[in-house]
Chains A and B, each alone.
Chain A
Amino acid sequence: MTVVASIVFYVAAAIAILGGIGVVSARSPMYSGLSLILTLSQLAVLFLLLGAQFIAAAQILIYAGAVMVLFLFVIALLGVEAYPFLGRHLPGQRPLSVALAAILLAGVIFFVAENPRAITGAHSTVLQSGGNVEVFGRQLFTSFFFPFELTAPLLIVAMIGAVALSRSRRGDTNA
């Protein structure tokens, strides 16, 4: 079991990293977006290996099935390819991105050093109790009830944002 799991882990992790490299190195936004889908789908496999079945399914459903569809719509249908801003940078983009990536990596290393078992997932009560989605739900709707409810106002803000964006310049919805 563990042998197979580690093989799957290394394959999925390698594809995820390759996808990540593709995101930043592809010239065309479309290929960039497709690489991101690849990475996100492999993350779902990694979640699955940790025993987080619900998170794995939600990862596919929300990130691959909804967020990236939105990206794809923007890239494919608003004609991003036709605009000449490709290759332009924000001021100080490269050093800033290196610095941010370093901070992120340091955070991950610190987290793993603090509790090494976090990445194996073996300690989690959720995994041991087997009934994964049930346990997740019980936690979410009892202990973490308040944060969960807070996501509702967040979603409203996002809705308002979406509507406001579409009505920008000319004040109508058919822009």
Chain B
Amino acid sequence: MLTDYVPILILSLLAGGFAATNVIATLITGPYRPTREKLSPYESGMTEIQPPKQRFPVKFYVIAMLFLLFDIEGVSFYPWAIILKALRFPGFIEMLIFLAFLAVGYIFIWKKGALDW
């Protein structure tokens, strides 16, 4: 079984090497004549007043949190999907119960407006 993963190990070494080489190449090739203006952050032609340290909407945090929860749900479905043929109808009911719980949560977050932008 573990030998199945040898190609992936080798690909990861080669792909990592290829990606790293590319980035290193960008350090070597091309001219380099920096000036003060060239090295300033892009601000549509304006001078930068302050670095972007201000806070961003909490929305994005909520989305990442909800994604995490639904992702856990999705992953736990995979072993179930493979053996559903063997589990037959009771297996379907099991997942229906699980999904019913989640549906309650989903409707809750929808009603609370966490999905509105």
Contacts and interface: CB of A to CB of B under 8 A. Distances in A.
Interface in B76-117: 76, 78-80, 82-83, 86-87, 91, 94, 97-98, 101-102, 104-106, 108-109, 112-114, 116
B48 interface: no
A116 B1 CA distance: 23
Contacts of A140: 76, 79-80
B66 interface: yes
How many interface residues does chain A have, given as a range?
Answer: 35 or more
B68 A58 contact: no
Contact of B112 (A54, A132, A155, A163): A163
Q: Is the interface of B mostly helix, strand, loop or mixed?
A: helix
B116 A173 contact: yes
Contact of A160 (B5, B59, B61, B105): B105
Interface in A141-175: 141, 145, 148-149, 151-153, 155-156, 158-160, 162-163, 165-167, 173-175
B75 A61 contact: yes
Contacts of A8: 9
A74 to B, nearest CB: 6
Given A73-B64, A160-B108, A174 B94 contact: no
Contacts of B5: 48
B68 A66 contact: yes
27 contacts: A4-B6, A8-B9, A54-B78, A70-B61, A70-B64, A73-B61, A79-B56, A81-B53, A82-B53, A130-B1, A133-B78, A133-B82, A138-B83, A138-B86, A140-B80, A141-B91, A148-B76, A149-B94, A149-B101, A155-B69, A156-B105, A159-B108, A162-B69, A163-B114, A173-B58, A173-B112, A175-B58
